[in-house]
A and B are shown apart, each in its own frame.
Chain A
Amino acid sequence: MAEPALTSSPPTEAPPLGLAAGELVASGVSRSYGAGPERKEVVRDCSFTIERGKLSVMIGPSGCGKSTLVRLLAGFERPTEGTLSLDGAPITGPSRDRQVVFQESALFPWMTTYDNIVYGPRARGDRGEATRALAETLLEKVGLQDFRDKYPPQLSGGMQRRAELARALINDPKVMILDEPFRGLDALTKELMWEYCARLFEESGRTNLFVTTDIDEAVFLADRILIMANVPTRLRAVLEVDLPRPRRLADVAASDRANDIKAEALSLLHEEAMKSFAHGSRAAADFVEAYANRRGPR
């Protein structure tokens, strides 16, 4: 199925999505699984802040524990030690304040696009006219008006990702947590989704935490890049990405500043990847190889 063109709309026409934005704080968080000799520590004494109204990208080698952090921040799991909070209130479970967009599609296959999008409001007993209107606005915003009555398997990969974004956005969360949302999409769709995602963020100013292993994705989207250490993970470094917004792919690709940030991020990531390589991780070995190739011609 062909991707429909994503028409750009100026911020003035933005739908009446709330401008809720929250600050996520992790302090001294550890998480381990199993017990005794089988015990595996995935996160160790990890502290960071996801700043209000910014798009933070968390990047680190595959299998470094990023998805575990996502589950902890979302409230699906509790940390073994330490605390997580949103705007000062401790995180004790899942909440509409923190919506997660998962790796690959977690749309409900038995519901149409529209029913998926209005899942949250319906779950809370909200069947009001305003919600229905908001759902229509969102359908239009993600370019899926013509696919409202289709089931997820009938949508292309890019459409599924956009439907899932809409399903999360309708809940007007304070924080959007996106866990490698564009993994598995083809290169062209992926770049369209980057611009799309950047525009959504620029229009709403909502706090976003975006998890990825892709450095180009990170530099294009981020206000701040959190570089994570290899497992057991913790914050390794923070890079501020001071590129102007709104961002366009062509501008960022041509920007020297963007390339400098990328180089800096790569050298930090390279160290981490080498460490995991030394620990025998196959994914990390691929990672080192891929980035070694890419660093060359710069």
Chain B
Amino acid sequence: MNATAKGAPALSFARGVVSIAVVLLLWELGARSKHWMAGDLSAPLRATLGALGFKTSYLPCVGAAPPPTGVLRSWAAILTDVGYWQSWAKSFLRVSGGFTAAMVVGIPFGLLLAVNRTAFGVAFPLFEVLRPIPPLAWVPASIIFWPTQELSISFVTFLGAFYTIVINVVGGAKAIDVRYFQAARSMGSSRWDLFRRIILPGTLPSIVVGAVVGMGITWEVVVAAEMISGGGSQIGGTSGGGLGFFIWNSYVGGSYEQIVVGMISIGIAGFVSSELLRLLGRRVTPWLSQR
């Protein structure tokens, strides 16, 4: 490794910090100025766009958004609020429940489809018909099917990760080099041995990819499901609704700062979950990182 490559992580970290800082600064300025796209200073821009035939009333107004400092203040204020942390816990539980179920069901199912032609023939067409249905389209049906709202949200969350995991497992297992099977069979591997020592480790990298992507989808789905279903509000108002309901509730209550607090919270939650999975993924696939 040369000097430039060694300095690369620090440099790329610095770049990340600078880019976030610049965005925050522009946002702060825009929110405070009350001028961007809407105020007097934007008049020439609006006149130009108007002359070109644009309806200037359609322009967004950055000034209407809460500034980052306001968001921070609002965040600091609710950090001690138990309800806010209960929203975190609620969403985390739903995500981990749905995600774990998707892994537990999805991995064996995907492996079965990959190794068994009959199973593939029977189940894959059905799977492919169901797969394009967005998990959120399942929300009303799921509320009818499942006895509790909690179960219905978890089920929709499960669907979000399930398809991605299965597709990755099937694709990963089928992409294993045929020579690995040939070599293993020449050396006397039984079917079980082939499965355990070739198919399983050979599919592991794809399982990790499927899990990381699936985790991201799970967060998208849980938040939307909480918004639509009212966040299981019978459990206890704001406190029981999860982060999705937290955002929705802030919007209804007119607390725009809290909307952004909720959004950033989800961003952080999703990032932490994905990083944890990547870390775990690297642990179980050591041969990929050691070059």
User: Which residue of chain B lies nearest to A154 when distances are taken between CB atoms in the complex?
Assistant: B290
- For residue A95, CB closer than 8 A to chain B, the reply is yes
CA distance A99 to B182 in the complex (A): 10
Contact (A74, B291) CB under 8 Å given A106-B180, A110-B202: no
Q: Which of A71, A102, A124, A151 contacts B287 (CB 8 A)?
A: A151
CA distance A153 to B291 in the complex (A): 6
Contact (A123, B188) CB under 8 Å given A108-B180, A110-B287, A153-B287: yes
* Contact A106 B183, beta carbon cutoff 8 Å: yes
Q: Which of A94, A111, A153, A154 contacts B186 (CB 8 A)?
A: A94
User: Which residue of chain B lies nearest to A120 when distances are taken between CB atoms in the complex?
Assistant: B187
* Contact B204 A99, beta carbon cutoff 8 Å: no
Question: Among B197, B198, B201, which residue has the most Cβ atoms of chain A within 10 A?
Answer: B197
- For residue A119, CB closer than 8 A to chain B, the reply is yes
A249 to chain B, nearest CB (A): 30
User: Which residue of chain B lies nearest to A76 when distances are taken between CB atoms in the complex?
Assistant: B182
**Contacts of B183 on A, CB cut-off 8 Å?**
100, 102, 106, 108, 167
- For residue B236, CB closer than 8 A to chain A, the reply is no
B103 to chain A, nearest CB (A): 20
In the complex, number of A-B residue pairs with CB atoms less than 8 Å apart: 71
- Chain A interface size, under 10 / 10 to 19 / 20 to 34 / 35 or more: 20 to 34
- Secondary structure at the A interface, as helix, strand, loop or mixed, is loop
**Contacts of B285 on A, CB cut-off 8 Å?**
110
Which residues of A from 134 to 155 have beta carbons under 8 Å from B? 150-154
Which residues of B from 163 to 195 have beta carbons under 8 Å from A? 177, 179-180, 182-190, 193
CA distance A153 to B185 in the complex (A): 23
CA distance A106 to B177 in the complex (A): 8
Q: Which of A94, A110, A167 contacts B182 (CB 8 A)?
A: A94
Number of B interface residues at 8 Å Cβ cutoff, please give it. Answer: 23
Contact (A110, B291) CB under 8 Å given A94-B185, A102-B183: no
Q: Which of B187, B189, B197 contacts A99 (CB 8 A)?
A: B187
CA distance A152 to B183 in the complex (A): 15
User: Which residue of chain A lies nearest to B182 when distances are taken between CB atoms in the complex?
Assistant: A76
- Secondary structure at the B interface, as helix, strand, loop or mixed, is helix
- For residue B254, CB closer than 8 A to chain A, the reply is no
**Contacts of A151 on B, CB cut-off 8 Å?**
286-287, 290
CA distance A36 to B226 in the complex (A): 59
Q: Mark A121-140, 1 if CB is under 8 A from B, else 0.
A: 00110000000000000000
Q: Which of A75, A110, A124 contacts B188 (CB 8 A)?
A: A124
* Contact A74 B188, beta carbon cutoff 8 Å: no
**Contacts of A95 on B, CB cut-off 8 Å?**
186, 188
* Contact B187 A96, beta carbon cutoff 8 Å: yes
A152 to chain B, nearest CB (A): 8
- For residue A171, CB closer than 8 A to chain B, the reply is yes
Q: Mark A58-93, 1 if CB is under 8 A from B, else 0.
A: 000000000000010011100000000000000001
CA distance A171 to B190 in the complex (A): 15
* Contact A96 B188, beta carbon cutoff 8 Å: yes
CA distance A254 to B6 in the complex (A): 49
* Contact B188 A120, beta carbon cutoff 8 Å: yes
Contact (A100, B286) CB under 8 Å given A106-B179, A110-B202, A123-B193: no
Q: List 25 A-B contacts (CB under 8 A).
A: A75-B186, A93-B185, A94-B182, A94-B186, A95-B186, A95-B188, A102-B179, A108-B197, A110-B201, A110-B287, A111-B201, A119-B184, A120-B188, A123-B184, A123-B189, A123-B193, A123-B197, A124-B187, A151-B287, A151-B290, A153-B287, A153-B291, A154-B290, A154-B291, A167-B187
Q: Which 3 A-B pairs have the closest CB atoms?
A: A120-B187, A110-B201, A151-B287
Chain B residues in contact with chain A, CB under 8 A?
Answer: 177, 179-180, 182-190, 193, 197-198, 201-202, 204, 285-287, 290-291
